[in-house]
Amino acid sequence: MGPKPSKHIEYDRNDIKTQGYISITTKEKEKKKYFRLSHKSLKYSDGQNIPSKNKAFFDKNFKIRLENPDEAILVLEVKNIRGQIQQWQLKFETNDEYISWVSLIKKAKRPIWEDPIENLACKQCNVDFSVSNRQHHCRKCGKVYCYLHSSNKIAIPELEYNTPVRVCDNCFKDS
């Protein structure tokens, strides 16, 4: 009998999450573009086999400004590869397509968890982890804490955690 699998697995970060044609409005022009969503970025081009010149990374500048499920519209604020802040208004063909893309975008925004092998002490109290003092990842910042400093739970809908999940004391205070 092997080790018991963790019931909290970090978001699967394989390369392409989804792809397809979506209408985008930038600078008052609406065009249908081919979008690819990966674990690191959202990018689009004129067609499926054409390299993407427009790319936004999931960083602190990536924000969801408006969710309109009734009209299947999502407005994003992004920093493009030229360093400019832009608004992308995405219009989806169907409500199901909208729901799927929004969910995947929110999950892709989740922080990458710190490596538990490289982090041997709590980020807040600096107490070493052991068999009796286990590591816990904060779902909002991805850092490693002991139970004492990560016992709070909140929903984080902007990261597609719609039921309460473990967060550190700092992220709990900021919520």
How do residues 115-130 score in pLDDT, each as one tens digit? 888 999 999 999 999 9
Closest CA to 110 of 133, 138, 139: 139
Per the structure, the complete domain to which residue 46 belongs is given by 16-108
Residue 12: band (very low, low, confident or very high) from pLDDT cuts 50, 70, 90: low
Domain boundary among 90, 108, 126: 108
- The CATH number covering residue 58 comes to 2.30.29.30
Structure tokens at 7: 């019931």
Residues 103 and 127 grouped into a single domain: no
Structure tokens at 169: 């004391």
In a domain, 150, yes or no: yes
Phi/psi at 76 (5° precision): -115, 145
**How many structural domains comprise the chain?**
2
Residues 51 and 133 grouped into a single domain: no
Residues 28 and 78 grouped into a single domain: yes
In a domain, 167, yes or no: yes
pLDDT surpassing 90 at residue 112: no
In a domain, 160, yes or no: yes
Residue 13 has what pLDDT? 61
Residue 52 has what pLDDT? 82
Residues 168 and 121 grouped into a single domain: yes
In a domain, 91, yes or no: yes
Q: How far is CA 63 from the centre of its chain?
A: 10
Residue 160: band (very low, low, confident or very high) from pLDDT cuts 50, 70, 90: very high
pLDDT surpassing 90 at residue 89: yes
Closest CA to 139 of 109, 117, 173, 167: 167
Q: How far is Cα 90 from Cα 121, in angstroms, rounded to an integer?
A: 43
Residue 11: band (very low, low, confident or very high) from pLDDT cuts 50, 70, 90: low
Domain boundary among 108, 126, 155: 108
Q: What percent of the chain is modeled with pLDDT above 70?
A: 91
Residues 76 and 147 grouped into a single domain: no
pLDDT surpassing 90 at residue 7: no
Residue range 163-172, pLDDT digits in tens: 999 999 999 9
Structure tokens at 66: 């408006």
Q: Which sign, positive or negative, has the C-alpha torsion 61, 96, 100, 92?
A: negative
In a domain, 86, yes or no: yes
Q: What pTM value is reported for the model?
A: 0.84
Q: How far is CA 126 from the centre of its chain?
A: 28
